[in-house]
């Protein structure tokens, strides 16, 4: 019984929850409505948007195992009539996100290796090809499946800048030197030596310790282990290490990070820990409860936040 996901037309105003200090918020309801809510006075306010939409797998996912949420089993429904419908739903989120992004901001979409291509063609149109920044490969390890093919062990994340002409947010990250480099050079910096004619003659190592090599676009990060403390029971949970690299590299403290597909709340939890502001959204009860528990455990209890108070933005009233 394929359907086309939650109706885009549904105009229900999302229910809002927020941390006591207002640094983080969860909007319960359709994320199109949630994004529209943000757009009311938040155009250009977002530094980083991370989207982890359902991958068009044609399946229904449920909360699992010992951590299953009581009385709530369906986490999300990933059945679509066809790819065009799936892409259209994604596009309606992305156009709103483009509006929300600050000039220095960027958006990262997480997809699998069967759908990334269609998403990039779409995003090249929406954001402009000149704003494509990276195809990031998440390489993980898992149990082997019986297949006469190379095992599928990677996901893809596509990053676009809002505007490549503007200097975007960027905090350099480093990773370990390659084993062969360590063997030859130790962990000291290399320095090219040039002769009088400008020709390179050799490299030598400096006294200074190298910070490692600048982070590449292939990330080897383990999946969240079935028994890890980090695990919430929500399906397809992403590792905190993954979000850490994105949020640290692409936003500063105090910046606003959004995630329209909250799921288990990894983006919110990492953003909070890193001192970023966040807004995350999900229509499922399962998500709301998992996120509430997860944030509570790190001192960011979500409280009911009546809309009336939120809509009173002093600047708006002055402007009117």
Which residues of the shown chain bind DNA in the complex (CB under 7 A)? 52-55, 57, 61, 64-66, 78, 110, 140-149, 151-152, 177-181, 183-185, 189-192, 194, 198, 200-204, 210, 213, 222-223, 225-230, 235-237
Q: Which is nearer to its own copies, 218 or 298 (CB)?
A: 218
Work out what residue 55 binds among its own copies, DNA, none; the CB cut-off runs from 5 to 8 Å by kind: DNA
Which listed residue (113, 184, 208, 311) binds its own copies by CB under 8 A? Answer: 113
* Residues between 25 and 64 that touch its own copies (CB under 8 A): none
| Binding status of residue 114 toward its own copies by CB under 8 A | yes
Q: Are 250 and 236 in contact (CB under 8 A)?
A: no
Work out what residue 196 binds among DNA, its own copies, none; the CB cut-off runs from 5 to 8 Å by kind: none
DSSP label of 9? S
| Binding status of residue 116 toward its own copies by CB under 8 A | yes
| b (16+ CB within 10 A) / e for 272-306 | bebebbbbbbbbbebbbbbbbbbbeeeebebeebe
CA dihedral (289, 48, 42, 128) positive or negative: negative
Strand partners, 80: 3, 4
User: Three-state DSSP class for 184?
Assistant: helix
Q: How far apart are CA 167 and CA 23, in angstroms?
A: 26
148's CB contacts (< 8 A; 6+ apart) are none
| Binding status of residue 222 toward its own copies by CB under 8 A | yes
Q: How far is the CB of 159 from DNA (least distance, A)?
A: 13
Per-residue x/- track, 129-168, its own copies (CB under 8 A): ---xxxxxx-x-x--x--xxxxxxxx------------xx
Work out what residue 11 binds among its own copies, DNA, none; the CB cut-off runs from 5 to 8 Å by kind: none
Q: How far is the CB of 232 from its own copies (least distance, A)?
A: 21
Work out what residue 198 binds among its own copies, DNA, none; the CB cut-off runs from 5 to 8 Å by kind: DNA
Work out what residue 189 binds among DNA, its own copies, none; the CB cut-off runs from 5 to 8 Å by kind: DNA
Q: How far apart are CA 104 and CA 202, in angstroms?
A: 39
Q: Which is nearer to its own copies, 129 or 313 (CB)?
A: 129
Q: How far is the CB of 19 from DNA (least distance, A)?
A: 25
Q: How far apart are CA 127 and CA 74, in angstroms?
A: 33
Question: Which uninterrupted H or E stretch holds 15?
Answer: strand 15-19
Which listed residue (41, 95, 170, 254) binds its own copies by CB under 8 A? Answer: 170
Q: Are 111 and 159 in contact (CB under 8 A)?
A: no
Q: How far apart are CA 253 and CA 123, in angstroms?
A: 27
Q: How far apart are CA 201 and CA 301, in angstroms?
A: 60
Q: Which is nearer to its own copies, 145 or 207 (CB)?
A: 145
Q: How far is the CB of 142 from its own copies (least distance, A)?
A: 9
Q: Are 163 and 100 in contact (CB under 8 A)?
A: no
Work out what residue 185 binds among DNA, its own copies, none; the CB cut-off runs from 5 to 8 Å by kind: DNA
Q: How far is the CB of 161 from its own copies (least distance, A)?
A: 9
Rg (CA), the chain: 22
Site residues for its own copies per CB under 8 A: 113-114, 116-118, 120-121, 132-137, 139, 141, 144, 147-154, 167-168, 170, 173, 178, 180-181, 213-218, 222, 249
């Amino acid at each position: 019984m394929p359907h086309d996901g939650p109706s885009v037309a549904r105009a229900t105003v999302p229910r809002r929850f927020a941390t006591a200090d207002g640094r983080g918020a969860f909007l319960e309801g359709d994320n199109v409505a949630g994004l529209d809510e943000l757009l009311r006075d938040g155009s250009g306010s977002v530094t980083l948007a991370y989207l982890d939409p359902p991958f068009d797998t044609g399946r229904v996912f449920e909360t699992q195992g010992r951590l299953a949420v009581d009385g709530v089993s369906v986490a999300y429904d990933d059945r679509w009539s066809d790819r065009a419908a799936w892409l259209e739903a994604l596009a309606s989120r992305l156009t709103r996100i483009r509006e929300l992004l600050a000039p220095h901001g960027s958006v990262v979409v997480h997809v699998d290796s069967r759908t990334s291509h269609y998403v990039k063609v779409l995003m090249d149109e929406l954001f402009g090809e000149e704003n494509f920044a990276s195809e990031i490969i998440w390489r993980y390890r898992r149990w082997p499946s019986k297949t006469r093919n190379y095992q599928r062990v990677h996901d893809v994340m596509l990053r676009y800048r809002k505007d490549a002409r503007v200097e975007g947010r960027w905090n350099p990250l480093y990773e370990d030197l390659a084993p062969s480099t360590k063997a030859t050079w130790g962990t000291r910096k290399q320095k090219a030596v040039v002769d009088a004619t400008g020709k390179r003659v050799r490299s030598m190592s400096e006294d200074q310790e190298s910070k490692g090599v600048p982070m590449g676009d292939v990330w080897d990060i383990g999946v969240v282990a079935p028994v890890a403390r980090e695990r919430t029971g929500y399906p397809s949970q992403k590792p905190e290490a993954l979000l850490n690299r994105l949020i640290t590299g692409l936003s500063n403290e105090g910046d606003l990070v959004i995630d329209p597909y909250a799921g288990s709340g990894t983006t919110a939890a990492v953003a909070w820990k890193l001192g970023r502001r966040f807004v995350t959204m999900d229509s499922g009860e399962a998500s709301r409860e998992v996120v509430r528990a997860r944030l509570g455990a790190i001192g960011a209890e979500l409280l009911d936040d009546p809309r009336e108070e939120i809509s009173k933005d002093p600047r708006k009233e002055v402007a009117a």
